[in-house]
């Protein structure tokens, strides 16, 4: 195979979607030499209902990217509707933590935008690259990784830190030996599709016994229409084959007839996608020369729609810790332990509320938990808005 091509960097980030691209962006803006590697090509989609809660919008605004997201055609959503039976309550998204909107950009748009922002900040982006393992020194510290490029040729990346942002089934976490600190699985499922040619003015949440459905308005006048239920209840959708859209609409009829009617009056523009029995876990966040961010380090059932905001929050916490470690090597242990502590503290309330909601308690209790979640998300947005401004909001000179 010949001699591998080798490059040296301060940080190599494995995975270039929300968590990885955001981490690379912030480190590059702070002046560090960052390489971002991903086996995928961009733009491309990924399994995600992609509705951002307020904290995620706060992060986009703080990083100077919210206007770019809006310019891409993602609508600014300023209403949230809660529907239970014949009762509907619509609330305006009031200004708080510096933002007065929610937004749900398609992942093929959001991920590509973040990736290009990281590249513009100075990060070296390598797509079509498959990582095959981590490199360690004589003291067992991670000092880089091995990979193969799009032509199958070996490449090596040396780095002072390797960041695993490679998602739910993170190979980086496995190679690093990251311990599983907490783990459970809820017996739930979620399916979604895109529906156009109708009006979607608000984030919508529909509560019914053993069911939670909703809509996130997105690009091209479409709505991401989703339904979460116990796994057994969605067997008809799972087994419907090419008729999944009709099966999902039929399920929506039993949960929210008004939502089902609007879906049927619109036009389904996508296949139905979904997942079931997704894990809830927290992994060890850091080790010698490595760290995890996003779903690689922490994952929860998607019923709370908090994954992208988790990724943005933890990307900034990690980038701050690594930047300090690079500037002040003697402070590495303190800085990286600080990332662990801040991440674990930030995730706890939402993590446990997610597990409680994904068990589909009685609708009265479900609504109580949703109110607790809403309060937690507003506090989180306030906390994120209060963080010091990230370094280098302007693009780093080439």
What pLDDT does 43 receive?
Answer: 86
Q: pLDDT for 283-317, tens place per residue?
A: 999 999 999 999 999 999 999 999 999 999 999 99
DSSP secondary structure string for all residues of 97-117: TTB--BB---HHHHHHHHHHH
**What kind and span of H or E run contains 254?**
helix 244-255
Structure tokens at 202: 């608000």
Structure tokens at 361: 């308690």
Q: pLDDT averaged over the chain?
A: 95
Residue 198 has pLDDT above 90, yes or no: no
Residues 204-212 have a mean pLDDT of 97
Structure tokens at 217: 């308005």
Q: Report the top-level CATH class of 187-276.
A: alpha beta
CA distances from 127 to 3, 4, 8, 169 (A): 21, 17, 17, 19
Q: pLDDT for 228-285, tens place per residue?
A: 999 999 999 999 999 999 999 999 999 999 999 999 999 999 999 999 999 999 999 9
Structure tokens at 285: 């966040």
- The domain ranges of the chain are 5-184+278-386, 187-276
Instruction: Report the distance separating Cα 291 and Cα 164, nearest Å.
Output: 6
Q: Which of 136, 230, 165 is nearest to 191 (CA)?
A: 230
**What kind and span of H or E run contains 152?**
none
Give the confidence band of 197 by pLDDT, cuts at 50, 70, 90.
confident
Instruction: Tell whether domain 5-184+278-386 is in CATH 3.50.50.60.
Output: yes
In sequence order, which residues have a C-beta less than 8 Å from that of residue 317 and are 6 or more positions away?
339, 342, 343, 346
What pLDDT does 397 receive?
Answer: 31
Q: Which of 102, 111, 114, 110 is nearest to 53 (CA)?
A: 102
What pLDDT does 394 receive?
Answer: 44
In sequence order, which residues have a C-beta less than 8 Å from that of residue 236 and are 6 or more positions away?
247, 250, 251
Instruction: Report the distance separating Cα 317 and Cα 323, nearest Å.
Output: 10
Instruction: Report the distance separating Cα 85 and Cα 229, nearest Å.
Output: 17
Instruction: Report the distance separating Cα 311 and Cα 347, nearest Å.
Output: 11
Q: Which residues of 19-41 are buried (b: 16+ CB within 10 A; e: fewer)?
A: bbbbbbbbbbbbbbbbbbbbbee
> Do 323 and 32 meet the contact criterion of CB atoms below 8 Å apart?
yes
> Do 281 and 295 meet the contact criterion of CB atoms below 8 Å apart?
no
> Do 233 and 209 meet the contact criterion of CB atoms below 8 Å apart?
no
Residue 360 has pLDDT above 70, yes or no: yes
Structure tokens at 169: 């089934």
Please classify residue 386 by burial: count the beta carbons closer than 10 Å to its beta carbon, then call 0-12 exposed, 13-18 middle and 19+ buried: exposed
Q: pLDDT for 1-39, tens place per residue?
A: 556 789 999 999 999 999 999 999 999 999 999 999 999
């Amino acid at each position: 195979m010949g001699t591998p091509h080798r490059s040296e960097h301060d940080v190599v980030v494995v995975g270039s979607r929300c968590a990885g691209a955001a981490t690379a962006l912030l480190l590059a803006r702070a002046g560090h030499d960052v390489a971002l590697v991903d086996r995928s090509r961009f733009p491309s989609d990924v399994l995600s209902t992609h509705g951002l809660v307020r904290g995620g919008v706060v992060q986009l605004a703080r990083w100077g990217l919210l206007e770019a997201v809006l310019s891409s055609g993602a609508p600014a959503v300023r209403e949230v509707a809660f529907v239970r039976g014949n009762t509907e309550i619509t609330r305006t998204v009031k200004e708080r933590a510096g933002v007065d909107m929610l937004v749900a950009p398609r992942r093929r748009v959001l991920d590509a935008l973040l990736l290009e922002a990281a590249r513009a900040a100075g990060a070296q982006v390598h797509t079509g690259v498959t990582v095959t393992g981590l490199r360690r020194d004589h003291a067992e510290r991670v000092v880089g990784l091995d990979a193969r490029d799009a032509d199958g040729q070996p490449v090596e990346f040396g780095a002072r830190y390797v960041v695993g942002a490679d998602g739910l089934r993170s190979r980086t976490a496995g190679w690093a030996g990251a311990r599983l600190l907490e783990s459970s699985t809820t017996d739930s499922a979620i399916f979604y599709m895109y529906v156009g040619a109708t009006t979607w003015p608000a984030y919508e949440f529909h509560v019914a016994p053993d069911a939670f459905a909703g809509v996130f308005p997105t690009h091209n006048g479409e709505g991401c229409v989703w339904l979460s239920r116990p796994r057994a209840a969605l067997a008809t959708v799972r087994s419907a084959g090419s008729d999944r859209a009709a099966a999902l609409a039929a399920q929506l009829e039993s949960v929210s007839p008004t939502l089902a009617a609007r879906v049927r009056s619109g036009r389904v523009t996508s296949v139905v996608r979904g997942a079931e029995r997704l894990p809830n876990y927290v992994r060890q966040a850091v080790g010698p020369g490595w760290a995890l961010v996003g779903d690689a380090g922490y994952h929860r059932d998607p019923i709370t729609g908090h994954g992208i905001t988790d990724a943005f929050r933890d990307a900034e916490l990690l980038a701050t810790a690594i930047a300090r470690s690079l500037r002040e090597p003697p402070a590495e242990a303190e800085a990286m332990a600080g990332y662990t502590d801040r991440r674990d503290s930030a995730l706890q309330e939402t993590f446990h509320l997610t597990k409680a909601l994904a068990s589909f308690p009685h609708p009265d209790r479900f609504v109580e938990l949703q109110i607790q979640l809403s309060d937690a998300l507003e506090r989180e947005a306030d906390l994120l808005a209060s963080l010091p401004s990230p370094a280098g909001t302007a693009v780093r000179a080439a």
